[in-house]
Amino acid sequence: MRIRFKKWARPELEASKFYIDNPEDKKGKWKEQFKNPEQPLHLELGCGKGQFIATLASSNLNINYIAIDLVDAMLGLAKRNIETVYQEKNLQPDNVYLTRFDIERIPLILDPKDEVERIYINFCNPWPKGKHRKKRLTHTRQLEKYKTFLKPGGEIYFKTDDDDLFRASLGYLEECGFKILEKTFDLHQEPIFENNIETEHEKMFTEQGIKIKALIAKY
C-alpha cells in the first residue's frame, strides 16, 4: 500500500516508548525489552496502519508482540492507533513494540534465543510476476529465514485475498517442512481462527465480494 509522507511520523516514533529504532541491537534479547519477559513472543510482519496489532495486543496482555514495517508513515499511524486502542481500554502498551526494518533481512534482528512462537502475515504484496515471486513473505526463501528464529512448534497465521498467492503459499510451507493445520478458501464462511480480527484490507475485499483465504501452519 502506498501512503503519503507524514512529516510528524519520524519525530513521534522516536519519542515513543514502544518504538525501537535500532532492532539489530535487540537480536537475541527481545524478551528483555518487555515488562513481562516470560510471556510468549508473537510477531506481525507488515503491520501497516496497525489496526490489527492494536486490537490483538490489547486483547491479549499475556502475550508480547513485535510489529514490523518499513515505512515511517505506516508506523506512525500504527503508533497512533495503538495509543488510541489502549487508551480506550485504560491500558498501557507494555506488551507491544513497533520497529522499522526490511523483512527480507529479518535474521539480522531475530535469532533462536528470541523464541518467536507465532508469526502473523496479513494481506502481503502478492508479487504476481514470476521474477518477483521470491519477494513474497510466504516464499520458501523467506520461510527458511523465519525458521532461524521461530520456536519448534511455532505457527504462521496467514490471510490473503489473492488465490494464486494462497495456493502457492500452501506449497511453499509444505516444501519447507511446515504442517498445514487449518486452511480455508472462505474465512468468513469457514472460520479457522478462534477470534478473527478483521483488518482494513479484509473489510475492503469482503465488501467487494472477494473471499478471504487463510491458513494456520505449524513448524
Whether 155 is in a domain gets the answer yes
Instruction: List Cα–Cα distances, 216 to 114, 153, 194, in angstroms.
Output: 21, 12, 11
Q: Which residue has the higher pLDDT, 5 or 19?
A: 19
Residue 6: predicted pLDDT: 78
Query: pLDDT tens, 33-43?
Result: 999 999 999 99
Q: What average pLDDT does range 3-13 have in this prediction?
A: 86
Whether 1 is in a domain gets the answer no
Whether 3 is in a domain gets the answer no
pTM for this structure? 0.95
Other CB atoms within 10 Å distance of the CB of residue 58: 20
Whether 191 is in a domain gets the answer yes
Q: What average pLDDT does range 83-94 have in this prediction?
A: 98
**Residue carrying the nine cell digits 480455508:** 184
Per the structure, the complete domain to which residue 126 belongs is given by: 9-218
Residue 2: predicted pLDDT: 64
Other CB atoms within 10 Å distance of the CB of residue 11: 11
Whether 208 is in a domain gets the answer yes
Query: pLDDT tens, 186-203?
Result: 999 999 998 999 998 999
Q: How many domains does the chain have?
A: 1
Q: What is the CATH number of the domain that holds 49?
A: 3.40.50.150
Residue 164: predicted pLDDT: 97
Whether 207 is in a domain gets the answer yes
Whether 77 is in a domain gets the answer yes
Residue 8: predicted pLDDT: 86
Question: Contact, 6 vs 73, CB < 8 A?
Answer: yes
Whether 42 is in a domain gets the answer yes
